[in-house]
Amino acid sequence: MTLSNDPSVVLEREQLALKPPPLYKVLLLNDDFTPMDFVVQVLQKFFSMSLEKATDVMLQVHHEGRGVCGMFPRDIALTKVEQVSGFARQHQHPLQCVMEEA
């Protein structure tokens, strides 16, 4: 590549079109055995929700069968799913946490 010494030549930087990474919804699924207060605890612990917001999401899970915990890039969503699933197993609850592309 040769650069010109001619002052009338203007070099422009090529702009790369970078797209943000795709986001994934992290969801909790309803079951008939996990206590509601445990679900609220999970939402506060792993998704940094206030008590009020965690209660709203827990009620959405209870009434609609699923509730959105947040939207994250793939790696973070996967980590959240693994953390919540492990925590639920550790406490002997069948709570299911899944992710799906938004």
CA distance 58 to 43: 8
E strand or H helix at 55, and its extent?
helix 51-64
C-alpha 92 chain-centroid distance: 23
5 domain-assigned: no
Rg (CA), the chain: 22
Give the count of domains, the chain.
1
Paired tokens of 91: 């406490």
50 domain-assigned: yes
CATH assignment at residue 51: 3.30.1390.10
pTM of the entire structure?
Answer: 0.82
Q: Let me know how long the chain is.
A: 102
Contact between 49 and 43 (Cβ < 8 Å): yes
Q: What is the pLDDT of residues 14-69, one digit of tens each?
A: 778 888 889 999 999 999 999 999 999 999 999 999 999 999 999 999 999 999 99
9 domain-assigned: no
